[in-house]
C-alpha cells in the first residue's frame, strides 16, 4: 500500500495541470481543491526524503485553503508556481551554502569529486536556478493572464518537455566535459 501511495504522489503532480484543465467548468474549484489536499497528504505522509520535499505538501495545503474557502481557481493554478519557487529557493540556497544540490547528487555515486567536477556542478545548479525562475515566471503569467487551456498546456506539457530537454542537454554537456578532462 505504501508503494502505491509513493507512486501516486508523483503521478498526481505530473497529471495535476491536465486534471485541473479537464475538470474546469465541470467541477467547482472547491472540489478541485480536494485534489491539492490529496497531493499534500501524499507528500506529507509518504515522503521518505524528509523536510526538503515536505514543503511541497505544505505549499499544496496553503493553496488549497483559499481555493476551498473562496471557491477560487487561481490558487489551484499557482501550485506549479509554488513548486518552481520552492525548487529555486532550494537550489539557490545551496549556491549560497555549498555543497550545491547537484554536487550532493553527484557525490552519491562518486564521493571524491575532482575540483573541475565541483565547479561544473555549481554551474549546473546555476542553470537549474535560471530554469526554475523562468519556468515559475511563465507558469505565473499563464495562471494570471492565460486561459485554463494555455495554462494547462504550459504547466502540464511544455514545462515537462523543457525540463526533459534540460536534463538531456546537461547529460550531453557532462559527457563532453568528462571527455575533455580525461583525454
DSSP assignment of 22-33 equals: HHBTTB-HHHHH
Is a pLDDT exceeding 70 seen at residue 79?
yes
Q: What pLDDT does residue 40 have?
A: 82
150: helix, strand or coil:
helix
How many CB atoms within 10 Å of residue 163? 14
CA 101/CA 140 separation, integer angstroms: 25
Contact between 66 and 109 under an 8 Å Cβ cutoff? The reply is no
Window from 6-10, 53-57, 99-103 with minimum mean pLDDT: 6-10
* Domain limits, the chain: 1-76, 78-183
| pLDDT tens figures, 137-148 | 999 999 999 999
CA proximity to 160, closest of 56, 102, 83: 83
* Sign of the Cα pseudo-torsion (26, 16, 47, 133, in order): negative
CA proximity to 143, closest of 86, 94, 84: 84
Contact between 46 and 2 under an 8 Å Cβ cutoff? The reply is yes
38 vs 51, higher pLDDT: 38
CA proximity to 102, closest of 53, 160, 167: 167
132: helix, strand or coil:
helix
138: helix, strand or coil:
helix
Contact between 169 and 128 under an 8 Å Cβ cutoff? The reply is no
Is a pLDDT exceeding 80 seen at residue 9?
no
CA proximity to 99, closest of 136, 124, 130, 82: 124
Mean pLDDT of the chain: 89
Q: What is the pTM of this model?
A: 0.89
Amino acid at each position: 500500500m505504501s508503494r502505491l501511495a509513493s507512486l501516486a504522489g508523483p503521478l498526481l503532480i505530473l497529471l495535476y495541470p491536465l486534471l485541473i484543465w479537464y475538470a474546469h467548468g465541470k467541477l467547482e474549484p472547491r472540489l478541485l481543491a480536494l485534489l491539492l489536499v490529496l497531493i499534500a497528504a501524499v507528500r506529507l505522509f509518504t515522503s521518505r526524503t524528509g523536510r526538503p520535499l515536505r514543503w511541497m505538501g505544505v505549499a499544496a495545503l496553503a493553496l488549497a485553503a483559499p481555493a476551498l474557502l473562496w471557491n477560487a481557481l487561481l490558487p489551484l493554478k499557482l501550485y506549479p508556481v509554488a513548486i518552481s519557487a520552492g525548487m529555486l529557493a532550494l537550489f539557490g540556497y545551496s549556491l549560497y551554502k555549498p555543497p550545491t544540490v547537484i554536487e550532493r547528487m553527484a557525490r552519491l555515486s562518486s564521493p571524491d569529486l575532482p575540483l573541475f567536477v565541483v565547479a561544473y556542478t555549481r554551474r549546473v545548479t546555476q542553470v537549474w536556478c535560471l530554469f526554475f525562475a523562468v519556468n515559475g515566471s511563465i507558469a505565473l503569467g499563464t495562471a494570471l493572464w492565460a486561459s485554463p487551456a494555455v495554462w494547462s498546456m504550459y504547466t502540464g506539457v511544455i514545462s515537462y518537455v523543457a525540463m526533459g530537454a534540460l536534463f538531456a542537454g546537461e547529460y550531453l554537456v557532462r559527457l563532453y566535459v568528462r571527455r575533455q578532462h580525461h583525454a
